[in-house]
Chain A
């Protein structure tokens, strides 16, 4: 099932993230990834959730979320018309003499090398989620020590805006 993106604008209150996560869990809705941060108005937080489900599932998810007292608005982003970004930090081992191949791959994807130590290097890549997926796939034969993906954040293109 194709992933869908929900964008929520909520009160920046302690525990609001817990409430959203709890509701999704309670109703059996799936959270593939979740990012949250305050907006330009520091009383409002934007939460971006990547989920999946058919149309009726999505409709229920949105209506249940809208019922929460601290939720101002919920909208499903049109992924074909949205700007989606994710950040990846990746720590990969380099003691087998792989470092030049790894650097080549990193350069091909425009990933930056942000740290080098005796046995490993760390690359940083930000971009569309599927670029991140392809980068990870390109490096899969190497010894990946640690990685951290931030989860997807997104805005719709053009003259549509929600605040």
Chain B
């Protein structure tokens, strides 16, 4: 059938199984929005307050569901508003397809109104990008974009479409829907699997170190740990892949990880690194990280092998396939003395301190978790609150802790919460944020109100840009340059002004009462909790340090 570019876009989205997109209109997108209008029953469009929020929402949608998130933005400033969220998705390997309008082909390169060379701007922050100059190339380019976003190490792809292409017509041929297409498989080297199994079987102090790449591997991971009695440590991106209270789960490692987890990696004789990249927040000193261990690295991205830390052995491929094969060769055994040593460290590990005068971050999170229940999804912004959330939330399921770990984007939270809520419908979405980050994206509350998304924002207000202030306390002799914030924002009033509900809490009782009400609401709720500005995220290992340098006060 003969269709125009905008209609082709709709058809390919439906073919790819996309039922919801996030976006913001503009001149270059008029034809596409017209096609969306005519196809309201097939594709739902969520209109946000700006393109940044729309793209963070597509990202949150993708993280919560495992599907591709789609965002639509207009040319020029609309497209450039996608840069930070695209970089956020790129750093955390989130599958997105971003579609941007552009000026007509004849106006490209002439400094036209709302024109920007977005393909050039986003080259370093996308897996790949395309400019579709001819409508004949549109369908296949879009299909290719989804394939690239979902294959191997996932990531964002941008497709830039000049306005005349959105109205030009061509023959459109349907193909098989995405779910019927087969994914290309990487063949694993059998000899390598044998060698790895042997190393694990013979290890005296083995540790598994896993990251976000293991999101779909919970069962295999748990089985490996149980059969061979191997403890594990994980990155912030892997929160929830194992339950927080599983006995062999030693928890978070790295800059703000536990003493136990960091010591375990330091003393291990074999480290099995799965779906992770030895980031500078984990391998703070690349030469001394796991220095006593033989390191085995399993990852889908070959370029991560030996990029930051030299490893002894590597397997490039899909984690589940590798673990499936490995499990057949692992011996059942116990590591009683190693586990005993680890539990001894766990008992002596850092515990958050009480505060007689103000609610503590630990208490806030504890109360929120017990009220929100096992099915809740937590989304954070960036800073101290993010670290406390990672450390103290009762993580139970994968894809239930959404955080910008790689880029560390303040302002990610509200948009991502919207995406997560749209993706999961009936689960509680709890947005944990700080007064700094919240000011960056609180206006997306207007979107949540419009679409009846009852997101609960817990604003940990310490009247400071806490994380930077903490570094100024520790390393800059308390010279608090531009980190003490004394804004007069009245969160309760502003929430109501948006059409949401607001609460202000200074005691645990006030928080409990506010949560009881909030969890029944059908509109978004902001719960401001006043905390001490001198609260620190602990433990802490400074950059370049090892567990020897860990600070516990």
Which A positions have Cβ atoms within 8 angstroms of B?
15, 18-19, 22, 26, 56, 59-60, 63-64, 66-70
Tell me, yes or no, whether B195 is within 8 Å of chain A by CB. no
Q: Which residue of B lies closest to A63 (CB)?
A: B303
Top 5 A-B pairs ranked by shortest CB distance? A63-B303, A69-B128, A64-B303, A26-B124, A63-B302
Contact with A along B272-315 (1 / 0, CB 8 A): 00000000000000000000000000000111011100100000
Which of A18, A59, A68, A70 contacts B120 (CB under 8 A)? A18
Q: Are A15 and B128 in contact (CB under 8 A)?
A: no
Contacts of B307 in A (CB 8 A): 60
Tell me, yes or no, whether B536 is within 8 Å of chain A by CB. no
Q: A70 vs B306: C-alpha distance in the bound complex, in angstroms?
A: 24
Tell me, yes or no, whether B358 is within 8 Å of chain A by CB. no
Q: Which residue of A lies closest to B123 (CB)?
A: A22
Question: What's the nearest-Cβ distance from chain B to residue A96, in Å?
Answer: 47
Q: A83 vs B128: C-alpha distance in the bound complex, in angstroms?
A: 34
User: When A67-B301, A69-B128, A69-B148 are in contact, do A60 and B120 touch as well, CB less than 8 Å?
Assistant: no
Q: Are A15 and B303 in contact (CB under 8 A)?
A: no
Tell me, yes or no, whether B395 is within 8 Å of chain A by CB. no
Q: Which residue of A lies closest to B305 (CB)?
A: A63
Supply 9 A–B pairs (Cβ within 8 Å), ascending by A: A18-B120, A19-B123, A60-B307, A63-B305, A66-B302, A67-B301, A67-B303, A68-B128, A69-B127
Question: What's the nearest-Cβ distance from chain B to residue A53, in Å?
Answer: 14
Tell me, yes or no, whether B410 is within 8 Å of chain A by CB. no
Q: A15 vs B128: C-alpha distance in the bound complex, in angstroms?
A: 12
Q: Which residue of B lies closest to A19 (CB)?
A: B123
Q: List 8 other contacts, CB 8 Å, given A56-B306, A67-B301.
A: A18-B120, A18-B123, A22-B123, A26-B124, A56-B310, A63-B302, A67-B302, A67-B303
Tell me, yes or no, whether B446 is within 8 Å of chain A by CB. no
Question: What's the nearest-Cβ distance from chain A to residue B362, in Å?
Answer: 40
Question: What's the nearest-Cβ distance from chain B to residue A69, in Å?
Answer: 4
Contacts of A69 in B (CB 8 A): 127-128, 148
Contacts of B302 in A (CB 8 A): 63, 66-67
Q: A19 vs B148: C-alpha distance in the bound complex, in angstroms?
A: 16
Tell me, yes or no, whether B10 is within 8 Å of chain A by CB. no
Tell me, yes or no, whether B119 is within 8 Å of chain A by CB. yes
B144-162 CB contacts (< 8 Å) to partner A = 148
Q: A15 vs B301: C-alpha distance in the bound complex, in angstroms?
A: 24
Contact with A along B117-147 (1 / 0, CB 8 A): 0011001100110000000000000000000
B98-124 CB contacts (< 8 Å) to partner A = 119-120, 123-124
Contacts of A70 in B (CB 8 A): 128
Q: Which residue of B lies closest to A23 (CB)?
A: B124
Contacts of B306 in A (CB 8 A): 56, 59-60
Which of B119, B124, B148 contacts A15 (CB under 8 A)? B119
Question: What's the nearest-Cβ distance from chain A to residue B165, in Å?
Answer: 15
Q: A45 vs B334: C-alpha distance in the bound complex, in angstroms?
A: 56
Question: What's the nearest-Cβ distance from chain B to residue A114, in Å?
Answer: 36
Q: Which residue of A lies closest to B157 (CB)?
A: A69
Q: Which residue of B lies closest to A60 (CB)?
A: B307
Question: What's the nearest-Cβ distance from chain A to residue B319, in Å?
Answer: 18
Q: A63 vs B301: C-alpha distance in the bound complex, in angstroms?
A: 9
User: When A15-B119, A69-B148 are in contact, do A22 and B303 touch as well, CB less than 8 Å?
Assistant: no
Q: A59 vs B127: C-alpha distance in the bound complex, in angstroms?
A: 20
Contacts of B119 in A (CB 8 A): 15
Q: A59 vs B119: C-alpha distance in the bound complex, in angstroms?
A: 28
Contacts of A60 in B (CB 8 A): 303, 306-307
Q: Are A22 and B124 in contact (CB under 8 A)?
A: yes
Contacts of A22 in B (CB 8 A): 123-124
Q: Which residue of A lies closest to B302 (CB)?
A: A63
Contacts of A56 in B (CB 8 A): 306, 310
B454-511 CB contacts (< 8 Å) to partner A = none
Question: What's the nearest-Cβ distance from chain A to residue B137, in Å?
Answer: 11
Q: Which residue of B lies closest to A14 (CB)?
A: B131
Question: What's the nearest-Cβ distance from chain A to residue B163, in Å?
Answer: 19
Contacts of A18 in B (CB 8 A): 120, 123
Contacts of A26 in B (CB 8 A): 124
B169-209 CB contacts (< 8 Å) to partner A = none
Q: Which residue of A lies closest to B152 (CB)?
A: A67
Question: What's the nearest-Cβ distance from chain B to residue A126, in Å?
Answer: 34
